[in-house]
Structure 1
Amino acid sequence: MSTETDAASQADAATATDAVTDADETEASEPKESKTAAGKTAAGKPKAGRTEAGETESPPTSGKMIRPWRILAIALAVGLIAAGILAFTERQRDASPSANRALVDAPATAKAVGDVSNALVKIFSYEHGDVAATEKAAAELLEGKAADDYRALFAQVKQQAPAHRLTLTTRVVRAGVSRMSGDTAHLLVFLDQVSTRNGKPAGGTAAAQLAVTARLHDGHWRITEIRSS
């Protein structure tokens, strides 16, 4: 009896020990599984603004952001295109026959060419014995910048012409109006000039090409600017 009792006691103790061990193992494994499940949940559904590593994540955007400098570049390009179109339109309008009378008004064009040609012959021709006549003609035929420039130039002629018996003869070879608008005309004039010194030819014929601006005043064209071209 004693042996059977001891065997039964040992069996019960072993069973109890196994039960305790299983319970301990179960308790030890449950937190891990729970933690793992929690980890999966956190990985599967991270909180807004956080990554799995705990770093801040930028909110998603629906499209590409346009940088301010790109907006400025686009606005500048549009402005330049608009300015170019406007300038082209102005040039086309100015070049139209209705804007340039030289293309449609033959009498006015001929009048401008005649007045300017005669004026250039008078102001660029002089005799050493009567430079005053040339100076007087210039005062009547020139105005504005042309008059100012001519006075400065002719001051030297008045000193040198009598001393060296200088003469200058000018003739117009060709003249044409490039543009006429309102009371203003722009002409291109080709001249030939022959000079003498002490009664002898001073070189050959000299050619000159002038861009002339003239203004209509009291029915006559007066020269306002002369430029070499």
Structure 2
Amino acid sequence: MPTPRHHLNRQRRRQALAAAPEDTAPRPRASVGVLTGPAPGAGRRPAAKPVRETSGAPEEDAVASGSGPRRLVPLVVLCVLTLLLGGFAGWAHGRAGELRDDPARSNTALTDLARTSEIKGQTGAAVAALFSYDHADTAPFEKAGKTLLTGKAVEQHRTLLGGVLARAAEQKTVITTTVTDSAVERIDGERARVLVYADQSSVSTAGTAKAGGKQSKAARDQGVYAGAMFAVDVVHRDGRWLVENIDTFGR
């Protein structure tokens, strides 16, 4: 009885396996990953890569080691920002205290326009009355000295006009003072300092009389004209601003 073909093939495979050398060592399984270099020589089987034993899962260690520095960066930035903001807050608080303590900050000359205008008006009128004199009618001058001056300004006013008044009756002097401009330097509560610009003329009406009792025109027109700049300190009392100091800047 002839042997079937599949039985012949099976016997041949068994004989071939029996003649082949024994190779029972397990072949290393290649790990799955990204290739970092060319494969070894052609036709050669790559050697198995040793695995380093570590505690815990390798993937978890890699994630932990990679996330550590990343977590530190936001923390460091937050600390720096906190220090910067804290320093700025301290500087701002100190600067605000300096501005509040600065005497210039109590000056309301530029913010209280109504009060500034009131001071300028009353000071201009007071200066004009205090430094204008007419030998023929001294009442307005004397009244201004009694009602518009206070403190050391009383003596200062008398000293400034003493020499003129001593010769006023003889020379028949007429002094006219007109305030052309003024500026309120500061307002501090009930006190203020005002810079005054004024035009002043002093005319002597005494002259040599001609026949018939008429005075010469040259004598009547003779006089002195000058501009003046000085400062006055004023104080608010009983609804009025009174001059308490006259500063002629050393003149």
Identity %: 33
Deviation at 1:92, TM superposition (A): 6.5
- Aligned equivalents of 2:159 and 2:138: distance in 1? 14
Deviation at 1:115, TM superposition (A): 0.6
- Aligned equivalents of 1:131 and 1:161: distance in 2? 10
2:232 to 184, 195, 212: 212
3-state DSSP class of the match of 2:132?
Answer: coil
Which of 1 and 2 has greater Rg?
2
2:125 to 100, 118, 127: 118
1:130 to 133, 137, 145: 137
Aligned AA (2:98): T
- Aligned equivalents of 1:184 and 1:140: distance in 2? 17
**CA distance change for structure 1 residues 211 and 153 in 2, over 3 Å: closer, same or farther?**
closer
TM-score scaled by length of structure 2: 0.52
Question: Could you say which residue in structure 1 is the equivalent of 2:202?
Answer: 195
Contact 1:211–1:226 (8 Å) recurs in 2: yes
1:104 to 88, 108, 111: 111
- Aligned equivalents of 1:154 and 1:173: distance in 2? 21
- Aligned equivalents of 1:177 and 1:164: distance in 2? 36
Stretches of structure 2 lacking an aligned partner (at least 5 in a row): 1-93, 206-219
1:1-229 superposed matches below 5 A: 89=98, 93-96=102-105, 99-198=106-205, 199-203=220-224, 205-229=225-249
- Aligned equivalents of 2:125 and 2:151: distance in 1? 18
Contact 2:129–2:140 (8 Å) recurs in 1: no
**CA distance change for structure 1 residues 183 and 200 in 2, over 3 Å: closer, same or farther?**
same
Aligned AA (1:121): A
Structure whose residues are more often helix by fraction: 1
- Aligned equivalents of 1:219 and 1:189: distance in 2? 21
Contact 1:177–1:187 (8 Å) recurs in 2: yes
Tell me the C-alpha RMSD between the 2 structures.
2.3
3-state DSSP class of the match of 1:103?
Answer: coil
- Aligned equivalents of 1:91 and 1:147: distance in 2? 35
3-state DSSP class of the match of 2:120?
Answer: helix
- Aligned equivalents of 1:216 and 1:112: distance in 2? 9
Deviation at 1:211, TM superposition (A): 1.0
TM-score scaled by length of structure 1: 0.56
Contact 1:131–1:158 (8 Å) recurs in 2: no
Stretches of structure 1 lacking an aligned partner (at least 5 in a row): 1-84
3-state DSSP class of the match of 1:107?
Answer: helix
Deviation at 1:130, TM superposition (A): 2.1
